[in-house]
Amino acid sequence: MDYDFSICGLRLRAEVPWALKETAGTAPFLLPPGTPGQPDLTACFQEVDRLELPETGGVWYEDAYYSSAEGKSRVWHRPVPGEPPYCRVVWDEEFPDIVSCRYVKGSGHRIAYTRNLLSLLGLEMLLLRFGAFILHASLIDWQGRGVLFCAPSGTGKSTQADLWERHMGSRTLNGDRAGIRCDRGVWKAWGLPYAGTSGIYRNASVPIRALVLLRQGEENCICRVDPLDAFKRMLPECSAQRWDIGFMDRLMGDLSALVSAVPVYGLTCRPDIGAVELLCDQIMKEDGNGDDTDPCGTADHGISP
């Protein structure tokens, strides 16, 4: 059976010999059967009797073994430590629009859900082939402007997104993860099927207006962040296969291009409306609307240079 997903504006097809069970997070991203159009990438699943791990040349991460050599990246998945692998995923640079998946006979139940399928393939690897990557951030759409709140877990990304919804009428597209891609010369952010504990995953996109690097503090203050500092602070928040040199080279190139093209702000803030007003005022002033209107309901908030 064929299952087509629309993720980050890309059409991803999975050809599997069984019926998948749909999970809530993937539902907005699953296209109805018969939707016209061709896939950008196809994952083909085929049954084999058994799979063997290579003796050397790879690295273990959780319950998967990763190996990259001669233009091919391979991932072996096993159910628990000590047991043989039940699936192998192969990415071949020679065939960029195809992913080869081999699974051991009788193990189809381990790939029974749409979320399992995307996790098995590795969504970060799927997207990277098309110049897209995953950023650990809350994404909001405010009047057609995409604002991403980026920070380590527990710093207040979801809190700031909630404040913008409550006070500014924005719409949260994802509370924890965003897909980033330059689409026809415009940097855009998309909601993804993964959203952490927020439970918010909308299949929608918005041009990126601001990247906001959060820190908690006793006072609200904001400043522009230069591209190099932004790169250093954002790289740890990107989903990455850090043991894969080719993966990291492509990711770092995409991230460098993003922070050079889109304004990045450092926002030290409290969890209150003052932080919302401060950022809104900065964005509107830079957009050339600060002199005539005051949509944030603020005056001077002491924006630092």
Q: Are 107 and 83 in contact (CB under 8 A)?
A: no
For the chain, which residues make up each domain, given as ranges? 2-128, 132-286
Q: Is the pTM of this model over 0.85?
A: yes
Q: Does domain 132-286 have CATH number 1.10.1270.20?
A: no
pLDDT reported for residue 295: 44
Predicted confidence at residue 70, as pLDDT, reads 84
Cα 6 to Cα 100: distance, rounded to the nearest angstrom: 20
* Farthest-apart Cα atoms in the chain, separation: 70
The pLDDT of residue 211: 98
**In a structure prediction context, what are the per-residue pLDDT tens digits for the chain, which is 305 residues long?**
899 999 999 999 999 999 999 998 999 999 999 999 999 999 999 999 999 988 777 898 888 999 988 888 999 999 888 889 999 999 998 998 999 999 999 998 999 999 999 999 999 999 999 999 999 999 999 999 999 999 988 888 999 999 999 999 999 999 999 999 999 999 999 999 988 888 888 999 999 999 999 999 999 999 999 999 999 999 999 999 888 888 999 999 999 999 999 999 999 999 999 999 999 999 999 998 654 444 444 333 333 33
**Closest C-alpha to 121, from 147, 145, 90, 97:** 90
Q: How many CB atoms lie within 10 A of CB 286?
A: 14
CA distance 53 to 211: 41
Calculate the alpha carbon distances from 230 to 36, 141, 203, 220, 246 in Å. Answer: 40, 21, 27, 19, 22
